[in-house]
Amino acid sequence: MNTLRKTWHPYISPFDPCTPIKVKTYSTPPNLYMGFQPPGLEQFTPMEALRAGTLWKAFYDPWYSPYEKAREGQ
Amino acid sequence: MWVYEKKLQYPVRVSTCNPKLAKFLIEQYGGADGELAAALRYLNQRYSIPDKVIGLLTDIGTEEFAHLEMIATMVYKLTKDATPDQMKAAGLGDHYANHDNALFYHNAAGVPWTATYIQAKGDPIADLYEDIAAEEKARATYQWIINMSDDTDLNDGLRFLREREIIHSQRFREAVEILKEERDKKKFF
């Protein structure tokens, strides 16, 4: 596993009405790669785990809006 | 039987009065891949699944109700003091006409929840694969809602819920591995 986000380049027609999105991304969360969870994985502290939503660091993959920064810049 | 704890699984903070966002969020309340559908799907499939994974369905089905409660709190806070005009402006005029500011089990487009959203095939692999798909679809729904939301406090709660979908999917995948009964065995094919 290298990244938890993958990208692809959709075809762009010269006649597309909307401003084309050149690169599209999608999420490939860690559960796709783990198989049966091996023993002895690294853990968050209990307080961190409650906030993160998981005890296991290997499964932590938070999603942030790619548009959030752009909106704040306005 | 259940024991109820009078608190949310994760604190829900909402920083803006934003009925529009409630309209989107309701998808996770009464939508096809929402928390209600998930809870009912898992808790119902328990009866006809091999003993080894019943407990998993009980645990996750129960947690889905805790998530349902969080979504309900979010929607409630986003619309609590919204005036009829604000509801109308947010595209919730139809909702207001039927429900005032009450919550109801329907999706973002106002379609009421239906049992046809869920399935119990009786075949353990078919049922678990549906559960995995449901978790991935719920994860994606959270992504799209986070993308549309600029309420950072609310997004914090939504990120927690999305992370739980990842963990649930992982556990369902492990349940499949358990039922395959090939784990840790030397393979001679």
pLDDT tens sequence across B167-178: 999 999 999 999
Model pTM score: 0.91
Domain ranges of chain A: 5-73
What confidence tier does B9 reach under pLDDT thresholds 50, 70, 90? very high
Please give the ipTM for the structure prediction: 0.84
- C-beta atoms of A59 and B10 within 8 A: no
Q: Which of B10, B152, B167 sits opposite A54 (nearest CB)?
A: B167
Q: Which 3 state secondary structure label does DSSP give A57?
A: helix
The residue assigned the tokens 């991304």 is A25
- C-beta atoms of A35 and B177 within 8 A: yes
A61 contact residues in B (CB cutoff 8 A)? 163, 166
Per-residue pLDDT at A74: 44
Tokens of A10: 């959709």
| Residue B37 scores a pLDDT above 80 | yes
**How far apart (Å, rounded) are the C-alpha atoms in residues B71 and B77?**
10
Per-residue pLDDT at A72: 54
- C-beta atoms of A53 and B167 within 8 A: yes
Per-residue pLDDT at B4: 96
Cβ atoms within 10 A of the Cβ of A18, count?
5
CATH number of B19-101+118-180: 1.20.1260.10
pLDDT tens sequence across B56-91: 999 999 999 999 999 999 999 999 999 999 999 999
Q: Report, as an integer, the average pLDDT of A19-37.
A: 92
Q: Which of B142, B161, B170 sits opposite A31 (nearest CB)?
A: B170
A66 contact residues in B (CB cutoff 8 A)? 147
The residue assigned the tokens 């039927």 is B98
**How far apart (Å, rounded) are the C-alpha atoms in residues A12 and B71?**
38
Q: Which of A35, A54, A71 sits opposite B150 (nearest CB)?
A: A71
pLDDT tens sequence across A5-26: 999 999 999 999 999 999 998 9
- pLDDT top residue among B187 and B22: B22
**How far apart (Å, rounded) are the C-alpha atoms in residues B66 and B163?**
14
- C-beta atoms of B167 and A37 within 8 A: no
In B133-162, the residues whose Cβ lies within 8 Å of chain A are 139-140, 142-143, 146-150, 152, 155, 159-162
**How far apart (Å, rounded) are the C-alpha atoms in residues B187 and B185?**
6
Domain ranges of chain B: 19-101+118-180
Q: Is the dihedral of CA B98, B99, B104, B110 positive or negative?
A: positive
Question: B66 vs chain A: nearest CA distance in angstroms?
Answer: 13
Name the residue of chain B whose CA is nearest to A65's CA: B147
Per-residue b or e along B104-131, where b marks 16 or more CB atoms closer than 10 Å to that residue's CB:
eebbbeeeebeeebbebeeebeebbebb
Report which of B174, B169, B178, B184 is spatially closest to residue B50, judged by C-alpha positions. Answer: B178
Per-residue pLDDT at A69: 62
Mean pLDDT of chain B: 94
Is B23 an interface residue toward A (CB < 8 Å)? no
pLDDT tens sequence across B94-147: 999 999 999 999 999 999 999 999 999 999 999 999 999 999 999 999 999 999
| Residue B189 scores a pLDDT above 70 | no
